[in-house]
Structure 1
Amino acid sequence: MPETNTLAVPETGVADLGLFGKPLFQDPGARALKRVGVVDVGSNSVRMVVFDGAARSPAYFYNEKIMCALGAGMADTGHLSPEGRVRALSAMRRFSKLAEGLGLSELTAVATAAVRDATDGREFCEEVRALTGIKIWVIDGEEEARLSAQGVLLGWPGAYGLVCDIGGSSMELAEISGGRVGKRVTSSLGPLKLRDIKGGAKARNTHIKDAMTGLAEKMGSQRDRLFLVGGSWRAIARIDMIRRGYPLHVLHEYRMTRQSVRETIEFIRTSDMDTLRVEAGVSSTRASLVPYACEVLSRLVKTFTPKDIAISSYGIREGMLYEQMPQRLRDRDPLIEACRFAENKDARSPGFGRILYNFVLPLYNSTSAPRKRLIKAACLLHDVSWRAHPDYRAEVCFDNATRANLGGLKHSERIFVGLALMHRYSNKRENIRFADLFDMVDEKTRAEAEILGKAMRFGAMLGMDKVEELGEMRWHPKKKELHLRLSAEMEPLFGEVAVARFNSLADSLGAQAVVKIAPR
């Protein structure tokens, strides 16, 4: 068995070189993330991800996965799959060459259950290093659980509950609360290992039940949210979307109930898997493991009875980044950081989003902090799609907001931000090809998004540069009056189109428009 790396790293951020012997961030306090490449050598797949963008909410600059099944057959041989090993070595050579072409100084690679358990795991790591120069850090099960939980925290800063990461040869559990990772355990409940159990479904079910009982004894009561991490869980979630006819095909933060899990598992059992996998966009290799993952998920839900279930697209790779963030970086809002980065990169006047937010804020004096957070995000994004053709700009804005890689954003919140940005460029939402998504929020939310969009549409008319004084709006809901006060210097900007947009905003509020311009 290869030697595992268990070097402890403070939860508050690294003070030394950390788990991988080097800092992943050149400047951990920086808002921007310089390209960082990581490789996850799993039991089923080998994946390379290159992160870039906002440090607190990194974007996927490059993402490639090779299904190698390194852990296939290990129950009988104790060795890595010979065929899988050849494919994994080829993948690592390719990734090394890609990293060179992308200008990465090096790749940080971790290996999990298959490599740590195989008798030839160390030999495999040495061969990779000889061929590519890449050092693979082999982590133990509890460390794997911790890094996966860290990845969930990258996307959900305030998350609490139980993280379950399923790979090919293992399944890990970790509790999270208050931005920290608590108890964590590992098990052999990976689909590749379950497939090799002799005795069929009955033997597997007995094995799964016994293992899950032992996990529950170690973890204790865990009835909050269950976060599912891993390709097999994502495949099941895609199928759940198909069964439900769910219109937004974004896996991150997709929610399921215990009942929907039971119904989807039965749906999978009674469906033609070849047809289902094509419709869900699941590879044949992954689809072959889904039935075994269903057996685990069924017992997991019965054992821990979570209040709800959420899919996390963030896991061990994102956890490697979160691992080395200092606390001051972790404390930032991933949504707002991503929106700031997008504004700085793509808007015509970076920095104007903050001014616009302050301008529209008087409309939301009684609004909750979570909703104001979404309003701020929309203001930061209000101009990032300006290059799109005017005939399609509203749709592009909606599409970008609802499908972008944004952390800390529920699906209903994606729709709210998307609708607001759509109304930034269009007064109407009829005949939009995404109309099937609008019903994911109620009419009140749709109306609020329209008001925000029209407010941004008007505010943008008063200046696109970093002018600190746009004027001042005041909303008097009891009087049903929307007041606008402009300085004499700003008065020329209040032209015919601006007047029409202000009146349109007032109409959406059911208010009378009142304009006051200061004398010169």
Structure 2
Amino acid sequence: MGDTDPDFGPFGLPLFDGPEARSLARVGVIDIGSNSVRFVVFDGAARSPAYYFNEKILCGLGAGFAETGRLNPEGRVRALSALKRFAVLAREMDVTPMLTVATAAVRDAEDGPDFRAEVLSHTGLEIRVLDGAEEARLSAQGVLLGWPGAEGLICDIGGSSMELAVLLGGGGVGTRRTSDLAPLKLMGLKGGKKAVRKHIKEKVAELVAEFPESPKRLFLVGGSWRAIARIDMARRDYPLRVLHEYRMTPKAIMNTITHIHEVDLDAIRSETGTSSERMRLVPMASLVLKELVRQIKPKEVAISSYGIREGLLYDQMSDALRHRDPLIEAARHAEASSARHPGFGRALYRFVEPLFSGARPHKKRLVRAACLLHDVSWRAHPDYRAEVCFDNATRANLGGLTHGERIYLGLALLHRYKSNRAGTGFNADLLSLLSDDRVQEAEILGRAMRFGAMFATANPIDHGKLKLRPKKRELILTLTSEEGRDLFGEVAKSRFESLANAMGVEPIVNGARSLSR
């Protein structure tokens, strides 16, 4: 398949250059929930969108609903004030399209229609009220934004409702259900803790009956679940504090829920950086999660930072863009906007690929992503470039990456600029997320990119080719042009030997000129 073929795998024509993707360059979403009101502006041209603007106000619109059936009066005032601000910001940023949605609190409240009319009158924002099934679908689509083709069960908890939806694989969403198993609703129940626990158990049993197959993975969406995940991270002293794709076992969740009900919540709040408004909901949410895990029996639980808002963006995407790999598309977008030589990442991949020719596709995609990202942090100070590369990879808003893969990618990019980790401030505890073999692979990839980027700045494969003979323990560089022989100077030779040393093989160069005087 030729270089110009638009379907050349993940190196096909970048969709963010097309008109359909450019139309997603400023997509605004206002999400009016039972607990918070949030305004997000996505730069959605790439498959992994960037958050161009992101602001949240915890208004508590659904507080007290169980007793009054109406929106919280104070919450209404705060929400309207926030929405006035968001409407002005959207106009100033020329956001198109601008999507405004509301969920359970506005949907169920007696004065919900009056609130919508008030918002329209003061801001010009027309609120679309989502029913429970639509809310579940959008949450599921948000998960698909980060995990294309994901299979399992998603559970999105808000302040006043909780939704479940089946991810069928291949981008499909199956059975969807909604319930009142949410903290603000549960807080209004009479009868004390015993009555609350009984209600949760019965309602979860009703829901589980609609989803008879135990999913391999349960995806958790929503602020209360993320708060519990932060507590789990702190309890376990987990080294990478990135919530998206954070995974927990059922046993770990049970231990963390016990921990939540045994320790001082103010101490947990301070340790995890959780707001007091959010922490107030955590104990009740933890009881729901405990019963869900008991009855659903997932093998693994994963946190998704993507939900309804991201699901609305997914709705705007073309089918072609939805099926692109979010990691590769985001890496290509970063290269196009930030690298010194956009397009060189593909050439670098072709040069180093013989070292990974036997790797499985999921490993090769990381090699591709690393090559695309190898130079996007070049403006960082040279003394700190290696650690900036690592931090950018491990903490970037990238979908389609496990935590182990983030560390792998970060290590490769660190070693692209520095042969060893000494003096970089690298947290060695992060290596616990990778096997020793994977750590070595990442270092080899980094040194390979370091050599390839030094050897030639246009198309290294035009001047030399790499070949690995693992049985003979040889790494062979064959220089194929006069320019290649000129390019293979002292620094290039040193980096080639450093690569071979990391691989534990003998460096052999065919066609080189003597470097001696």
Pairwise same-fold verdict (TM > 0.5): yes
- After TM superposition, the structure 1 stretch with the greater mean CA deviation from structure 2, 162-171 or 364-373, is 364-373
Note if contact 2:60-2:72 (Cα within 8 Å) is conserved in structure 1: yes
Q: Distance in 2 between matches of 1:296 and 1:510?
A: 52
The Cα of 1:295 is off from its aligned counterpart by: 0.6
The Cα of 1:490 is off from its aligned counterpart by: 2.0
Match of 1:99?
90
Q: Which runs of 5+ in 1 are unaligned?
A: 1-24
Match of 2:270?
278
Q: Which amino acid aligns with 1:79?
A: R
Give the 3-state SS of the residue equivalent to 2:163 in structure 1: strand
Match of 2:386?
394
Q: Of residues 465, 488, 494 in structure 1, which corresponds to 2:488?
A: 494
Q: Distance in 2 between matches of 1:449 and 1:119?
A: 57
1:365-514, aligned counterparts within 5 Å? 365-435=357-427, 436-465=429-458, 469-486=462-479, 487-514=481-508
RMSD: 1.6
The Cα of 1:26 is off from its aligned counterpart by: 12
Q: Which amino acid aligns with 1:474?
A: K
Q: Distance in 2 between matches of 1:420 and 1:246?
A: 21
1:82-161, aligned counterparts within 5 Å? 82-105=73-96, 107-161=98-152
Note if contact 2:26-2:96 (Cα within 8 Å) is conserved in structure 1: no
Match of 2:172?
180
Match of 1:168?
159
TM-score by length of 2: 0.93
The Cα of 1:217 is off from its aligned counterpart by: 1.3
Q: Which amino acid aligns with 1:517?
A: G
Q: Distance in 1 between matches of 2:22 and 2:372?
A: 15
* Alpha carbons of structure 1 residues 468 and 425: separation in structure 2 relative to 1, 3 Å: same
Instruction: Spell out, residue by residue over 1:272-325, the C-alpha distance to the aligned partner (whole angstroms, 9 max, x if none).
Output: 001111111110000000000011000000010001000000000000111232
Instruction: Spell out, residue by residue over 1:447-484, the C-alpha distance to the aligned partner (whole angstroms, 9 max, x if none).
Output: 11111000000000122236762421111101111111
Give the 3-state SS of the residue equivalent to 1:34 in structure 2: coil
Query: After TM superposition, what 4+ stretches of structure 1 lie above 6 angstroms from structure 2?
Result: 25-28
Q: Distance in 2 between matches of 1:78 and 1:215?
A: 24
Percent identical among aligned pairs is: 61
2:514 is the alignment partner of 1:516? no
Match of 1:18?
none
Note if contact 2:351-2:465 (Cα within 8 Å) is conserved in structure 1: yes
The Cα of 1:430 is off from its aligned counterpart by: 2.5
Q: Which amino acid aligns with 2:485?
A: E
The Cα of 1:326 is off from its aligned counterpart by: 2.4
Match of 2:223?
231
Give the 3-state SS of the residue equivalent to 1:432 in structure 2: coil
Q: Which runs of 5+ in 2 are unaligned?
A: 1-15
Q: Of residues 298, 302, 307 in structure 2, which corresponds to 1:310?
A: 302
The Cα of 1:107 is off from its aligned counterpart by: 2.4
Q: Distance in 2 between matches of 1:441 and 1:176?
A: 28
Q: Of residues 175, 193, 199 in structure 2, which corresponds to 1:207?
A: 199
Q: Distance in 2 between matches of 1:226 and 1:104?
A: 34
Q: Distance in 2 between matches of 1:32 and 1:323?
A: 13
TM-score by length of 1: 0.93
The Cα of 1:513 is off from its aligned counterpart by: 1.3
- After TM superposition, the structure 1 stretch with the greater mean CA deviation from structure 2, 440-449 or 462-471, is 462-471
Give the 3-state SS of the residue equivalent to 1:489 in structure 2: helix
Q: Distance in 2 between matches of 1:223 and 1:331?
A: 23
Q: Distance in 2 between matches of 1:26 and 1:516?
A: 41
Give the 3-state SS of the residue equivalent to 1:439 in structure 2: helix
Q: Which amino acid aligns with 2:65?
A: M
Q: Which amino acid aligns with 2:362?
A: P
The Cα of 1:77 is off from its aligned counterpart by: 1.1
Instruction: Spell out, residue by residue over 1:119-161, the C-alpha distance to the aligned partner (whole angstroms, 9 max, x if none).
Output: 1111111111111111110010010000000000010002110
Match of 2:319?
327
